[in-house]
Amino acid sequence: MKKTINLSDKDALFIEQLSLGLCKDPFAFLGIHAVAKGVIIRAYLPEALTVTIIDEQANPVAQMQKIDDRDFFAVELSGKKTDLSYRLLVEYAHITLDIEDPYRFQSHFSDFDSWLLSEGSHTRPYEKLGAHLVTQNEVGGIHFSVWAPNAKRVSVVGDFNFWDGRRHPMRYHSNSGIWDIFIPNAKKGTLYKFEILDHNGKLRLKSDPYAFFSQFRPDTASVATGLPAKIETNEQRRKANEPDQPISIYEVHLGSWRRNLENNYWLNYQEIADELIPYVKEMGFTHIELLPISEFPFDGSWGYQPTGLYAPTSRFGSPDGLHHLISKAHEAGINVILDWVVGHFPTDEHGLAYFDGTHLYEHSDPKEGYHQDWNTLIFNYGRHEVQNYLSGNALYWVERFGIDALRVDAVASMIYRDYSRKDGEWIPNKYGGRENLEAIDFLRKTNTMLQAENLGSITIAEESTSFAGVTHCLKENGLGFDYKWNMGWMNDTLRYMSTDPIYRKYHHNLMTFGMMYQYSEKFMLPLSHDEVVHGKYSMLGKMPGDCWQQFANLRAYYGYMWGYPGKKLLFMGNEFAQGREWNFQESLDWFLLGEEGGGWHKGMLSWVRDLNHLYTKTPALYELDYSPDGFEWLVVDDAERSVFAFERKAKKGNSVIVVSNFTPVVRENYRIGVNQLGEYKEILNSDSIYYMGSNVGNFGSIICEELPSHNKPYSINLTLPPLSTLFIVCEPCIHSNKTKLNTKKTAARNTKKTKGK
């Protein structure tokens, strides 16, 4: 039974607030509420002409009364309870719609959820915040939620409500600063944003920080796709990340590895998977590292200025497409690393900046919150909700996409308050120091959390300073990373290699200094994208000399790197010595592997492939990367001839000798001391004709004598090719067989070409 509605002063206040877009608690007025003899149902439906309450079978129950000219409607129903299932039949000027009333549905947030999110200890905040496809009261729809504690009002807007912020103001949880609402019958694929009346009374239209997908740029709406399913890990993937395993990483920018030849457009995730995964497998790389793939607005940032940390970029397709790419990698036995950017974010209006009219995600003081080098904003790591947002994102990629490792970008910019700042441009920490204690705490907590989840994932720090303990555990006051990029080794060795060979003898220590600190951290040796852009030349372009010498130098350098302790990383294009700098707007120069390349680039590709295959099959080259027992200099002081020799050792004692000659001079009868008597042979030679070298080398057996040299009881006599690196192994034998070593091989074998094995 319907009765006339009389408005109280409280009702009038709600109507005023709702019509002005200033109501923080629309659920207290709208929807269904108990009254003395039944229930009252209220609705705010801008531009509606009439509204009828209907039951589940679409039968009319009661006509709603228009209680205010600003399109508020209400009806009282005697004898009904608040669990009444009803819908609204709304007549507009040109259409009549049968809709569910979102204000009759409850919140998905419990007090415990709000408490965890406020405390910053919600391990999986993405399971609550954002847009989730759910069912309430047997009605499907989307539950939207967003953190905006200082907003005066937040509405969800999208396809379902004509992008009209008046129609769906959200419920405010004062104990957490979270706003939420369930929109019944909203479908997967719905476009949406949050309309925020901010702290200063300004309207802002924001993308969802927790969106799982976004529109293709330049459009910026979030797309409701639902939370991806969990991806199970396995023992093979876990083991592949361990320090005593071979790790050779191929770093890839998905937008420019290969492109469509017809229109220079990107390949999609599925097309990339079909071409990239078999290539990486054939080349012998164990891991792929993807440059950032979280949604970002500007192509020229390469993904390093993200606006949607939880959304795989739409440039290459949907989240399902990315799942396919990662799954194909795992099927091929290749682990996937994600370049993870949590040091800063751009100032784009639809993003995190000034989110609710206050500096919510960033610091308010530019001395703490503005990154001068990149024109970006720095996260406020001291805020619990911000830490939670970021650390939850780490778990999200691991758990929901099967990412095996996170390479954390620009760690130095995070942990130092004075990073790239002059005196007076930064604020010391509470102890007067330069360390960003909050960022350090965030990194430690995130690494600890990932380890506790036991999903087999690891973290890698791109940290460019000598900050102590980056890969040490928390008990040792470390940051808890599994590996650290060795930027010092990279800079020193590239400086050496770019020097004309005639002057290298004056810079000999650049190639050896890394061993002074080799065991202070678990290092990776990176030749990344940063080394082949912005006028730094390509890897080939860094090498001195004519064409032959440039290629020979680079082959020798890669050989030295693959022999040296530490996991390996090579940026795409470096494996075949692309001649020009990397250009993110174009495909790599794959044509160089054809006739246009004259065989030089194909030879380099074969060299890197053979290095990888030797590396992954030879425990001496990786098992003891982080133990002094795994490395010994054999020749370290021959600066005059720019020769280096060292021995790599496995846990069971097997070893490989690596010898590099960094001059364009053939060194005949070069004697080096060795630890054991046996049959030595050359197994890989960067100067082989197979790699477009001059084919100088040591064919057949290498004579081993009981002639002391370099403080060793035995020695071998070598021919060192020009600008080369050799890999030599020994098969031990008893003393009585010594004479057989010198005569065992036939002349025919001595003339055989050296070829990578």
Q: Does 462 participate in catalysis according to the annotation?
A: yes
The residue to which tokens 């000034």 are assigned:
354
SS3 content of the chain, % helix, strand, coil (to 5): 30, 25, 45
Find, among 689, 692, 635, 690, the residue nearest to 667 by Cα: 635
Is omega for the bond preceding 278 within 30 degrees of 0, making it cis?
A: no
Phi-psi region of 424 (alpha: psi -120 to 50; beta: other; left: phi over 0): left
Q: What is the DSSP string of 509-577?
A: HHHHGGGGSTTSS-EEEEE-GGGGSTTS--HHHHS-SSHHHHHHHHHHHHHHHHHSSSEEEEETTGGGT
Q: How many residues in total does the chain contain?
A: 757
Among 624, 362, 341, 562, smallest CA distance to 462 is for 341
Distances (CA, A) of 474 to 242, 441, 710, 715: 19, 10, 41, 45
User: At a CB cut-off of 8 Å and minimum separation 6, what does 617 contact?
Assistant: none
Q: Catalytic one among 339, 409, 492, 682?
A: 409
DSSP label at 308? E
Q: Which two tokens stand for residue 755?
A: 């070829």
**DSSP letter assigned to residue 546:** S
- Sheet strand arrangement including 655-661: 631-638, 643-649, 655-661, 724-732, 678-685, 701-702
Cα–Cα distance between 495 and 511 in angstroms, integer? 9
Catalytic residue among 404, 462, 482, 531: 462
What is the C-alpha to C-alpha distance for residues 737 and 205, in angstroms, rounded to an integer? 82
Among all chains, which residue has been given the structure tokens 């002391």?
Answer: 708
Tokens read off for 412: 């130095």
Q: How far apart are the C-alpha atoms of 333 and 217, rounded to whole Å?
A: 33
Cα diameter, the chain:
115
Backbone angles phi, psi at 551, to 5 degrees: -65, -40
Structure tokens at 713: 């009881």
The set of catalytic residues is 409, 462
